Structure 1
Amino acid sequence: MQKITTFLTYDQQAEEAAKLYVGLFEDAEITNTTYYKEGMPVPAGRVMSVEFRLAGQEYVALNGGPHFRFAEGMSLFVSCQDQAEIDRLWVALTADGGQPGQCGWLKDRFGVSWQLIPHNLRQLLSSPDPDRARRKMAAMLQMHKIDIAALEQA
């Protein structure tokens, strides 16, 4: 068991979110689902929490009610291997009401913030030529989804 687990609280979409996320990553699975019981503040039989794993990292999703909201100060950072992975995840996570952000950030349809970042971003942004390094950073700051080829050319 890992010492620290990311705990995500949704209104009523914990199971839907967990299924989406597990479908996007290899080495991902739902490991446990618990249900509200009689006498609890939510009708018996509804999903209370879903435990799941993404790429070896454990998460818990809870249906806690409408007063819980996600904030952009917390995001799930994904180190992507290539443009194809960035594109695939971007499309899936912005679908059905997700919102693109700037510099590789987005919010999924549940309000969770994600960063889809090339694994070699430091290298992509660096250059021994300070002007080129500034151009690369300026190019990235104009992007929503990161475009690796555009950064390489800047």
Structure 2
Amino acid sequence: MRDAAGKLAAEPVDDGAWREQRVCSVQKGPEAGIADLTVTAERVRPAVADASHTGPGTARYALGRGAWADADKAVVYVDCISPKLPGADGATPAVLAVRAWNRTFPQGDAAKYREANLALAHAASVALAKELGCRDNGGLPDKLTVRELPAG
């Protein structure tokens, strides 16, 4: 997390090309060649976080600035005011997106996979907010309470 947070903090306020930073990856075996599970973080524009993020099997959650998940992925958006982030040390926060991607195409109870992905993205979001020193943890609770929002 320290490495990803440092790279996020080193990026310019807005050069139009923020980069996704890998937090961690898990592979089932060396022959896989691609991570089965990856957690990433990046700075995004507010409009990205505020988009509807709907689709088949997608649920939205009351968490941080907003969150959504499906059986393959979860994203938690965090408003971070921190002296460590250029341009986000005053009243205007940096918007961070923390993603947990499950590339194994899970089969079975989609709601359980959504919540598992959300739990992983939440844990990484809290760790990132703490590492960056985001005011009030970026609005994230230390312990996840899953509150699904109505569709729409």
Bigger radius of gyration = 1
TM-score, normalised to structure 2, is 0.28
- In terms of fraction of residues, the more strand-rich structure is 1
TM-score, normalised to structure 1, is 0.28
